[in-house]
Structure 1
Amino acid sequence: MPHSSSAGIRRRMFLAGAAAGVGAAAGVVRAGFTGHADRLGTHGEPFAAGTTLAAVTTRPDGPGYRRLADGPGWPRIVRSDIAGPRPGRADRRTPLAAFVHFTDLHITDVQHPLRYEFLRAGSPKAWRPQEALTVAGAVSLVERVNSLRSGPATGAPLSFVMATGDNTDNNATIELDWFLTAMNGGTCTPDTGEPGHYEGVQDSGLELFWHPESLLRDLDSLAGFPKLEGFLGAATQPVHSPGLAIPWYSTLGNHDGLSGGCYASGHGAIAAAATGSRKLQTVPPGEARTLMAGEGRGTDPAGHWVEALLGRGYQARTVTPDARRAPFSMREYLAAHLHPDHVGPGPAGHGYTTANLTQATLYPSAACAH
């Protein structure tokens, strides 16, 4: 489902306000930056290289697909809506914290049988051509953070990373494992089902989806997406993460507790479909639009439509079952963070404690992804 969920927007707004309040987290990390820096460099000197203060990824003008390029960095703007700025502020201020904000990583198993990409018949935003690269993208962010010497505005040392939810996409156990490995360090293999054999929509022959290794004139190829031989094989190869070099903390998003960010994963049909062998690929456009409208209104929170769809004989493919795709509960999410194998740079639990388990103090977001 689309990643720009209302829950994600609220998380981003909260952190944006917090960053403005401390006056230290003034730049956004750019994952594509390829430079390296010594983290033991002199503190006190702002280090903006590789953040949005130095350059911003931009899309050149023109229709259809365009390769992204670097554009001018964003200027820092002094807010005057809360209090009037006074001269000499930089000499008087004391940074309270400099931290990094991750949100909506959406680590995705693109071969998952219960991906809602079949709704793309009703809306292009139900699937994105770059989804197979989410693990590599997360590792790139980790490497970028590790290369920062200090905060980009004040030069204060970076204290921690805050991941504010939607760390996974399908509420799948394997996605949670990939997320924790990317953050703490280790090797991820973003491939499920039969090892080394891609079983997703990008080799389905359906024109709804970009086929990077085919001459099929699909919707995205017609928009200019290139042919990239070996793309799917590369996207499912092992990826090694060095792990963050600073502590990190975690919160839940709606995709971390609900199937597709919307439906109760404990429902029998959803759990069975997630680990099963039948993967829907497309449904008629009219029904796709109806389903998207329905999940927005929350008319079927238990996801009974999944069982109904699977019984209608719509176009599906047989995929290799994989128990690692099983949905996880919020308690299992918390327990995974508390596990000794996932301490990484710390702190133990990454913001959670055993009291959260015993007192049941986890609360999911009720928002669906739109």
Structure 2
Amino acid sequence: MTIHLAILDVDIPVRPHYHRNGLYSTQYRSIIEPAVHRLSQSPLHPDPIKLVVSNWDIMGGVYPPEHLLQSSSTTTTTTTVPGNDTTTNNNNKNDNKITSLLITGSASSAYQTTTNPWITPLKTFIRKIYSHHPHIKLIGGCFGHQLIAAALMPDSTRVEASPLGREVGVHAVQLTPRFRKAFGAVLGGKGELRMQMMHGDWVVPSSSPSNGYITETTGSTTGSTTGSTPGGSTTAGDTPLKNATTNSNNTHNEGNIKPPWLNIGWTKQCPIQGLYLPNRVLTLQGHFEIDSVGMSLVAREFGPILGWSAEVARAHQERIAWEGGVDDGDVVADVIALFLVGEHMLSPNSKL
């Protein structure tokens, strides 16, 4: 089988990080390609898998053309690509049709549509893919996670600046039982996934109060109201939470999203760490594509812009390097690879 993963670049990395790791699309490709190879060589999927990766400059208005969005059995027609004035008309069925789209992270916020006019056309494009091209899977990372929620779940979720402050560094995402079951073949019994974080916005259920999130066991809210600054960062709330790895009160979070959507898991500082719609959508708040060295470079550049004090900057760097900065990026990449191939296409009783 052939997988064509189109990666939509919605920002450029800070210069030191770019010099080390390249564009965001390159970083995703570098970790997803080996994962697809592992899957192709495993008993899970004995048939050969060919991965084709393309990248698209969304901020520059460059979108995948319509003929690549059609399923292999469909003849295309001329259409205008949202956010781009050009039209496409290509009936070449030998082209590698896009089977999945990945939206990268960005320093912008999904709700900053006035200062970032490229966001609204991208939301329209996401809705178009979801409604008219159901064979194309959608993946989102950090900003991509938030934008997909804003585009596809506006009635049940909202995206906003987190009143608990910016979540930075290695945090253990506690996985919901149904997500663990869906990807158990590659999770290897893991109940949590350690991921690097760098976000000041979050996705929360529309029913949650604006100054925190509800815990089922107490019915109370946590967090405090703080002023927000551009990019979803917070001011008084930007002090890192200590040992923010597990919140036992949040075991309810599998049920805080309307079915058939599923919350993949949570941390103490963020109640929805990703969204999952079987065989259609998978989003992640964390960064499996960035290691501790890369995240340290990002934090050094963003700290002065966000007004971090020396104490806050030091605390964030300590969290990035927490327990050696070890994360489960490769395991998350295996989850992504399995999602790309199709969770329903596994060989019975096989494990990676």
- TM-score normalised to structure 1 length: 0.31
Q: Tell me which protein shows more strand as a share of its residues.
A: 2
- TM-score normalised to structure 2 length: 0.32
The higher radius of gyration belongs to 1
